[in-house]
């Protein structure tokens, strides 16, 4: 059954499962799980940080980072559509007593530098103290250009602010940059990370691990992060069985992300062709530009119910939502989507339109 709902639906590969079974274990609350320690050391070295912390979810690693950079009554500048602001249940405010200052996200996924600058509060007791700028890369599958990130970091440093990256799909961004620049994906990931004080990296999306995220930063920052993780209930015992999967993913599943991007281009090309050639879809199906492994399509309301029913009958699973009066579909390619799944989806659409 073709499942394009999200790259979170991936299953561990057979080789990953064997690695998990063979992982040496300890008690990570005591800091002596060798597989967790190996993952953390490997990730920190890989991405150019002093230290890393393994936690159950990206929502938690983002929140730990926000609470590390900001105290009660402080403020973090975030994008209006960022996960840290919109999709993580208000945790920074509810649990961190941190005020989010949202800034409008531009169509290309960036925040205007002028908008960021305008959102920084003066040192005045009437205002929350601005402490942090948060970026997200990728955002809706869009890649933030590394020179743009450098500009934001320059602005933040000049105003005494820290930088945090929600890099849940960091390696998708790095893969796109590597393909565009003819460079190495790991080098591109480090080039992105060097502009941030902390980075959250999800292991259970495109990387294909079953559970877990990493928070990366300086030694003192990660030392405090470990305490915050305990407060939030994220400390685990024999977590090495999960950490081993993440370690395997970082070593074996990064370069293959280019396959996901190539499959998404095939899907997008097929949808574009259907939209151009099938009268039933002309003016009723809009296919948005895609840069990585995420594609959005908008379906007009007069055909949306039948269109969705055709996909369901074909066993094609996507996420959908109402957007501007249309049905917006989100297609995500990943480790468990292959060429046959793309063909099956396009066949369903062809049959509907025909």
CA dist 16 and 65 (Å) reads 28
**Confidence category of residue 130, pLDDT binned at 50, 70, 90:** very high
The predicted pLDDT at position 1 comes to 82
pLDDT of residue 3: 97
What does DSSP say about strands 294-299 and 319-323: parallel, antiparallel, or unpaired? unpaired
Token readout for 172 is 């998708």
d(CA 169, CA 181): 19
* Predicted confidence (pLDDT) at residue 146 exceeds the cutoff of 80: yes
Global confidence as pTM: 0.96
pLDDT of residue 353: 83
Instruction: Classify domain 256-351 by CATH number.
Output: 3.90.1150.10
User: pLDDT of 199-221, one tens digit each?
Assistant: 999 999 999 999 999 999 999 99
- CA dist., res. 66 & res. 75, Å (int): 9
In the block, residue with structure tokens 């097929």: 270
Task: List C-alpha distances in Å: 350 to 164, 269, 274, 278, 279.
Answer: 44, 13, 7, 8, 11
Domain chopping of the chain, boundaries: 14-252, 256-351
- Cα 181–Cα 182–Cα 184 angle in degrees, nearest 5: 100
CB proximity list for 147: less than 8 A, separation 6 or greater: none
Calpha distance 293→115 (Å, rounded): 29
**Is it the case that residue 342 has pLDDT exceeding 80?**
yes
Report yes or no: 133 and 156 within 8 Å, Cβ to Cβ. yes
Nearest C-alpha neighbor of 218 from the set 242, 194, 235, 198: 198
Fold of 14-252: 3.40.640
pLDDT of residue 324: 87
Please, how many CA atoms are within 13 Å of residue 40, restricted to the half-sphere of its CB? 24
Kindly tell me if the per-residue pLDDT of 354 is higher than 80. no
The fraction of the chain above a pLDDT of 70, given in percent, is: 100
**Which residues face 329 on adjacent strands?**
297, 320
Cis preceding linkage at 138, omega within 30: yes
The pLDDT tens digits of the residues spanning 171-189 come to: 999 999 999 999 999 999 9
Predicted confidence (pLDDT) per residue in 62-110, tens digit: 999 999 999 999 999 999 999 999 999 999 999 999 999 999 999 999 9
CA 272/CA 324 separation, integer angstroms: 21
- What integer is the mean pLDDT of 262-266? 98
Cα separation, 242 vs 153, in Å, equals 33
At 186 the pLDDT is: 98
Average pLDDT, the chain: 97
Report the pLDDT averaged over residues 231-258. 98
């Amino acid at each position: 059954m073709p499942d394009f709902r999200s790259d979170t639906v991936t299953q561990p590969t057979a080789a990953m499962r064997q690695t998990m079974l063979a992982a040496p274990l300890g008690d990570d609350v005591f800091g002596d799980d060798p597989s967790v320690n190996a993952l953390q050391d490997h990730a920190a070295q890989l991405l150019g940080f002093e230290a890393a912390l393994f936690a159950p979810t990206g929502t938690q690693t983002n929140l730990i980072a926000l609470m590390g950079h900001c105290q009660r009554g402080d403020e973090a500048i975030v994008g209006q559509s960022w996960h840290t602001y919109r999709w993580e249940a208000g945790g920074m405010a509810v649990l961190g007593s941190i005020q989010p200052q949202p800034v409008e996200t531009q169509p290309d996924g960036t925040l205007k530098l002028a908008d960021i600058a305008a959102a920084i509060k003066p040192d005045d007791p009437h205002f929350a103290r601005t402490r942090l700028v948060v970026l997200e890369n990728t955002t809706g599958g869009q890649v933030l250009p590394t020179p743009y990130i450098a500009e934001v970091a320059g602005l933040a440093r000049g105003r005494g602010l820290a930088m945090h990256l929600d890099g849940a799909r960091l390696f998708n961004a790095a893969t796109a940059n590597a393909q565009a620049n003819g460079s190495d994906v790991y080098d591109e990931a480090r080039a992105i990370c060097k502009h941030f004080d902390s980075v959250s990296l999800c292991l259970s999306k495109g990387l294909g691990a079953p559970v877990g995220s990493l928070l990366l930063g300086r030694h003192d920052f990660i030392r405090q992060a470990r305490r915050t993780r305990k407060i939030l209930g994220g400390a685990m015992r024999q977590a090495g069985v999960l950490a081993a999967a993440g370690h395997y993913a970082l070593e074996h599943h990064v370069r293959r992300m280019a396959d996901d991007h190539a499959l998404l281009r095939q899907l997008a090309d097929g949808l574009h062709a259907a939209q151009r050639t099938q009268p039933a879809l002309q003016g009723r199906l809009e296919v948005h530009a895609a840069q990585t492994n995420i594609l959005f399509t908008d379906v007009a309301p007069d055909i949306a119910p039948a269109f969705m029913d055709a996909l369901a009958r074909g066993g094609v699973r996507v996420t959908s939502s109402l957007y501007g009066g249309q049905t917006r579909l989100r297609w995500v390619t990943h480790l468990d989507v292959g060429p046959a799944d793309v063909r099956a989806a396009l066949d369903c659409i062809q049959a509907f339109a025909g």
